[in-house]
Structure 1
Amino acid sequence: MKTHSISIDEIRIKPITSQEDFEEAGKLIEALVDADLLEDPEEKKKALDILEAITVLAIDYEKRHFPIPKPDPIEAIKERMKQLHLTRKDVAPYFGGENRVSEVLSKKRSLTIKMIRELSRNLGIPAETLLAIH
């Protein structure tokens, strides 16, 4: 298979240890992204295996060098309320009353385990986000 002047048999899978390696991996991923369209089953499998291996290595490098910060639990709640068009009154049962909603959203009161359980179950916010586990 020749893709963007890359011969499938010449591709060597190696650890991604630098930005240069990461960029090279990105080019390979881009070149192999349509590998599932290959007609020869052997070439297709070889290309897809290489694509998967390089993608796993690139994702690992990206996670280590460009971590995505975890969202603030209160900001996550506010964002989810906005997405679902919910008012403070709508979510009051999950907090134990409207006063608690205001206190928590203004960061004057911490989330309790019961609140976290209710918010996770009813608003679909992952518990780890609400617990601010990093």
Structure 2
Amino acid sequence: MFTAEPNTYIELLKKFPPRPIKSEKELLAVQEVIDSLLDSREMTSDKQDYLNVLGMLVHEYEAKYVQIPDLSGVELLKALVDEFGLKQKDLVPVFKTESIVSAIFNGQRKFTVEHIEKLADFFNVSPSTFFSRSS
């Protein structure tokens, strides 16, 4: 467990030497170190550099082993609603009525430009995330 707060880059390296991540268990160990550093009282440039190295290792592992579904449109909206613990009625400010929300969710209606702009503001994401990615 990573408990002490070393101050220099070399001390950080000695405490938890960075290595390529090859398993979920190793990923969790690295994430614990990252969380510990982010929770520390002071963010020094050495800690920031070390966090950057650990972040690159996590990114490399996730790019290789973690499948992130390519969601867009209604699929993305449903995932966001689920992630935020919302109900369809919570989207009435975006779509104006519950019947429009229901029609969107059931595939009976498409997003309008206004819907996409309001959804982007509501979820604080880029409007482009709601467009389908067709090849």
Q: TM-score, normalised by structure 1?
A: 0.50
- Paired-residue identity, %: 17
- Aligned CA RMSD, in angstroms, stands at 4.5
1:73 to 60, 76, 83: 76
Is 1:119 the equivalent of 2:119? yes
For 1:82 and 1:31, locate their aligned partners in 2 and report how far apart those are by CA, in whole Å. Answer: 32
For 1:67 and 1:100, locate their aligned partners in 2 and report how far apart those are by CA, in whole Å. Answer: 32
The structural deviation recorded for 1:106 is 1.3
Quickly say closer, same or farther: Cα 1:115–1:12, change in 2 above 3 A: same
The structural deviation recorded for 1:74 is 4.0
**Residue type of the alignment partner of 1:111:** F
The structural deviation recorded for 1:66 is 1.1
Is 1:86 the equivalent of 2:90? yes
Structure 1 gaps of 5+ residues are 39-43
Number of the residue aligned with 1:106: 106
**Residue type of the alignment partner of 2:123:** G
Tell me, what secondary structure is at the counterpart of 1:86? helix
Quickly say closer, same or farther: Cα 1:107–1:18, change in 2 above 3 A: same
Quickly say closer, same or farther: Cα 1:18–1:116, change in 2 above 3 A: same
Q: Contact 1:116 / 1:130 at 8 angstroms: preserved in 2?
A: yes
Number of the residue aligned with 2:49: 49
Superposed, 1:19-30 pairs within 5 Å as 19=23, 23=26, 27=29, 30=32
Q: TM-score, normalised by structure 2?
A: 0.50
For 1:105 and 1:83, locate their aligned partners in 2 and report how far apart those are by CA, in whole Å. Answer: 11
Number of the residue aligned with 1:41: none
Quickly say closer, same or farther: Cα 1:70–1:83, change in 2 above 3 A: farther
Structure 2 gaps of 5+ residues are 5-10
